Amino acid sequence: MTESNASSPELAEGDIVELTVGEVAHGGIFVARHSSGRVVFVSDALPGERVRAQVTEIKKRHARAETLQVLEASPERLEHVWAEADVSRDPAERPGGAEFGHTSVAFGRELKRRVLADALSRFGGVEPDFEVVGLGDDDATRGCGWRTRVTLHVDEAGRVGPFAARSHDVVRVGSLPLAYADIDELAQQIIAKGHRGPGRIDFVAPADSEVRMRARVKGTSTRKPELLTERVGEREFTVSEDGFWQVHRLAAATLYEAVREAIDPEHFDAEAQHYDLFGGVGLLAAAVAELAGADARVESVEAAAVATELALRNLSEWSGATAKTGRVDRYLQGVLEGGADALAASRAGTVVLDPPRSGARADVIEPLVVLGPQQIIYVACDPVALGRDTGLLRERGYELTRLRSYDLFPNTHHVEAVATFLRA
């Protein structure tokens, strides 16, 4: 381990350097430039700070480093919301999952806005005016207590805890501040006792009853996953315990309303064929169906068969609602090969596109734009993926007409956006 200075021609892993921190980058890291000219992505910092950091990785065009000490702090820096993740702790012992926990939730939203705006400008060629909206009382609680689903890991020695940031090493913690309080209480009991491993322990706090815990040791679960009931307003959704559901206690309701509001009424034909692609258990398909009315024709498409079965149950009040299991790109190709009447109904419809973090990509975008729906409501959980897909859609005749963004993951770098694209 060596101290690097202005005379150092290059960096090496393990070097300790002083850096002046610039803007935020995607992934909860910040951009700095070493005196050698190399760009360094540094974690646990804030724009404008001067820090001592240790180089952890050298790439061809950049390096990565972890903050060891803050020499000149930003006025936005606060005591970390998660004591074990504070910069005063050895980086190898800091748990991951709270990359912006050393600032206010409000400034965390501003950092996310900058990342999303940069991605849309750089990859999508658009510069919409928007802000990232907080949920409920997250500002008052400093973004604590919102996670209704938490996974802890168990190592060979039986130690239970989260992974350290940017590693798969289990670290022991005395609190889980982002977790729903009942999850934190139960998890601390398990952490104190330890558990047979290696494996993982999943905690869920559903709307219908008390917290569930389910361990998976060496690939074998202690029990079968249960079916849970989640609620969005007065509407109930059946969800598998190990299936996908939004993590923030207010996220599902927020996205349900966000999709309804994102649909342009002037381009919405209630009698058309609508689609919810990557539809999960039918949450957003229900939002579209509710707008279309009792005879809504909405089809949810999802690769997971269990989720498809639950989507059929959750959409059963609409006689024209269906759910199919399959890869979205292949499904769209099948639609394109259908008859003229089916294609006409789809072309008049609205598509909700809620892809995984990697985005929809050309494999899905290409057949989707050939299908040519009136509007595409894109629900994005990754800024760069949304930026790239925005570029693809604009090149193929769709324009971004509306964007809203929501802080569904306080104290982390993750951000959600709901974008409306209309056929030009």
* Binding-site residue positions for S-adenosyl-L-methionine: 246, 278, 302, 354
CA distance 328 to 311: 16
Tell me which long-range contacts 242-246 makes (C-beta under 8 A, separation of at least 24): 242/202, 242/214, 243/280, 243/281, 243/304, 243/306, 243/307, 243/310, 244/280, 244/281, 244/307, 245/149, 245/280, 245/281, 246/283, 246/408
End-to-end CA distance of the chain: 58
Which residue carries 């939203």 as its tokens?
A: 109
Instruction: Identify the CATH number of the domain defined by range 113-139+246-423.
Output: 3.40.50.150
Topology of 1-77 in CATH? OB fold (Dihydrolipoamide Acetyltransferase, E2P) (2.40.50)
Q: Catalogue the active-site residues.
A: 381
pLDDT in tens, the chain (424 residues): 555 544 456 899 999 999 999 999 999 999 999 988 899 999 999 999 999 999 999 998 899 999 999 999 999 999 999 999 999 999 999 999 999 999 999 999 999 999 999 999 999 999 999 999 999 999 999 999 999 999 999 999 999 999 999 999 999 999 999 999 999 999 999 999 999 989 999 999 998 778 999 999 887 888 889 999 999 999 999 999 999 999 999 999 999 999 999 999 999 999 999 999 999 999 999 999 999 999 999 999 999 999 999 999 999 999 999 999 999 999 999 999 988 888 898 999 999 999 999 999 999 999 999 999 999 999 999 999 999 999 999 999 999 999 999 999 999 999 999 999 999 8
Which residue carries 């009991």 as its tokens?
A: 189
* Binding-site residue positions: 246, 278, 302, 354
Domain ranges within the chain, ordered by starting residue: 1-77, 113-139+246-423, 149-225
**In terms of residues, how long is the chain?**
424
CA distance 409 to 407: 5
Give φ, ψ of 402 to 5 degrees. -155, 140
